[in-house]
Amino acid sequence: MSVASIGVFDSGVGGLSVLREIRSQLPYAELVYVADQAFAPYGERGLNAVRERAFAITEYLIDAGATTVVVACNSASAAALHELRERFPATSFVGMEPAVKPAAGVTKRGTIGVLATEATFQGELFASVVDRHARGVSVVARACPGLAAAIEDGRDVDVLVTQFTSDVVGRGSDIIVLGCTHYSFVADRIRAVAGPGVEVIDPAPAVARQTARMCGDKVTAVQGSSRYLTTGDAGRFAEQIERLLGARAEVRSVAIPVGTDSPISVVQGDITRQNVDVVVNAANANLAHGGGVAAAIARAGGPSVDEESRAWVAENGPVSRGAAAVTTAGEMEARHIVHVVGPVYRGVPDDELHLAEATRAALDASVRLGAASVAIPAISAGIYGYPLADACRVIVGTVGGWLDAGGALDDIRLVAFDDRTAEQFGLALRSAGE
């Protein structure tokens, strides 16, 4: 990387609004963007959880060569900016701060509105900004649950934008501060709802200018580059970049553990697109990949997966409980598929034992293959009927116990195909760490 290597991160696509402004200010800089989509949205997480994610991603960016890190997320800035500067004193940081100061300076009615996430309002940063810059001014702090997630997913936001914007305008605000980077992408809609007498302030350009002041003299006179990484689904993030920035980009999926000493992470996305050594398949005993995760893996891997599966069963017989079958991964990025058979849920104590055996079998087989990384789905939680929260708890507990007993893999990804599964894996992982 060049001297001016700038890391930018957010829980999802919101920080792309900041990245866009930084690129306009620093066309020759090397930029690395991390979307922590496996843990999105930050605004609906607790401050401690967001702070731990900020530490982990910052360490990742520094290891990748970043000398400046832009925390392109108001929630993460509120939760961790001060602590990041203390923990990484050799790194320069630029954070997001709700633009209360300029808003307070131009309001004519003496009332400003701030649209942000609940996490932003919970942090000490927001309270400090209001105390320093908004004395004598009424601040209407409006949390906007669901708005960032809707923007992330590309869903219609008109109802939410109308509700939140009308609330702060109805309470007398003549200035609206966008306190979440996601909201930059719907700023025009917010302006339309607010009406011509209300100014909307987007802090992204100011953050970009500050970044340019810190890094501009270090930029080398070569064409700049941008790298896009996500802890979620690379294909989905590439589609979001094209939708929001109007540009096609190559995206790579990465695993960033919650702590530096843990190989376990939760990744939301398509398990067939994970760049790992081993993908775990929740199979049936005959390796007939007719539905659920098994069908998705067989489709992504191509005809060879079914062919090798039939050959394996013909030679070895059905996959027994607590055992694993191994095939190549065909057309997927992974090298191997480890097929394990989880329980068909019956609501009996043996279900948990069976699921734990399948999970351990997948881990043991991965080690025997010489793998360093493995992607594990919510085994048995789909068409096999295992209650999702219970399945995630058993899988996480089994992985943790396997590691405690001396098992070793560098990267263990618990892959969730939807928000609900990601949430349950995350809850189970955090509960196990308490």
DSSP string covering 316-384? H-SPPTT-EEEEE-TTSSSSEEEEEE-PPP-SSHHHHHHHHHHHHHHHHHHHHTT-SEEEE--TTSSTT
Output the pTM of the full model. 0.59
pLDDT of residue 260: 44
pLDDT of residue 350: 93
Q: Distance (Å, rounded) from C-alpha 57 to C-alpha 47?
A: 15
Report the residue count for the chain.
434
In order, the DSSP letters of 107-161 are: -SSSEEEEEE-HHHHHSHHHHHHHHHH-TTSEEEEEE-TTHHHHHHHT---HHHH
Residues forming the active site: 73, 180
409-433 pLDDT, tens digit per residue, is 988 989 888 878 888 888 888 777 6
Low-confidence residues in the chain, pLDDT < 50: 1-3, 221, 260, 434
Closest CA to 307 of 328, 321, 291: 328
Q: Which residue has the tokens 């000493």?
A: 261
pLDDT of residue 258: 59
Q: Distance (Å, rounded) from C-alpha 259 to C-alpha 263?
A: 8
Q: Distance (Å, rounded) from C-alpha 378 to C-alpha 391?
A: 7
What is the fold of 100-202? Rossmann fold (3.40.50)
3-state secondary structure of 279: strand
At 279, phi and psi to the nearest 5? Answer: -110, 130
Cβ 365 vs Cβ 374: under 8 Å = no
pLDDT of residue 65: 84
Evaluate whether 5-95+207-253 and 100-202 have a shared fold.
Answer: yes
Could you state, in order of their start, the residue ranges of all structural domains in the chain?
5-95+207-253, 100-202, 264-433
Query: Which strands, in side-by-side order, build the sheet including 175-178?
Result: 138-143, 111-116, 175-178, 199-201
Q: Distance (Å, rounded) from C-alpha 215 to C-alpha 67?
A: 9
281, containing H or E segment: strand 278-283
pLDDT of residue 1: 36
Cβ 147 vs Cβ 182: under 8 Å = yes
DSSP bridge partners of 175: 112, 199
Domain 264-433 is found in CATH 3.40.220.10: yes
Give the architecture (CATH level 2) of 5-95+207-253: 3-Layer(aba) Sandwich (3.40)
CA distances (Å), 59 to each of 68, 191, 270, 286, 399, in order? 12, 38, 25, 44, 24
Cβ 339 vs Cβ 327: under 8 Å = yes
pLDDT of residue 152: 84
Burial (CB count within 10 angstroms: exposed 0-12, middle 13-18, buried 19+), residue 178:
buried
CA distances (Å), 342 to each of 83, 219, 251, 266, 327, in order? 43, 54, 33, 20, 18
Closest CA to 352 of 390, 404, 405: 390
Neighbours of 415 (CB within 10 A): 31
